[in-house]
Amino acid sequence: MTEVVWSTNKTFEDSRGNLIQVLQRSLPSLEEAKNEELLPFFHEPSLFQTNSCAPGSLNRIAGVLTVLEFDNSTLRLMLCIRNLDSGDIINWAIHSIQESKMTVWRVNNVLDTIQINIDGEGEKRIYMQTGGSAISQIFTSDLAQSRPKEDIIDAERIFAENAVF
What's the average pLDDT block by block, 10 residues per block, for the chain (165 residues)? 78 93 90 87 94 69 93 88 92 90 96 94 90 93 85 92 80
Q: pTM of the full predicted structure?
A: 0.90
Task: Report how far apart, in Å, the C-alpha atoms of 120 and of each of 21, 23, 82, 106, 135 are.
Answer: 28, 22, 22, 28, 28
CA distance 156 to 140: 10
Please report the pLDDT score of residue 163 as a whole number.
86
- Largest distance between two CA atoms of the chain: 53
Nearby residues of 6 by Cβ (< 8 Å), 6 or more positions away: 23, 24, 25
- The pair phi, psi for residue 58, each rounded to 5°, is -130, 125
Please report the pLDDT score of residue 55 as a whole number.
61
Cβ pair 65, 80 in contact under 8 A: yes
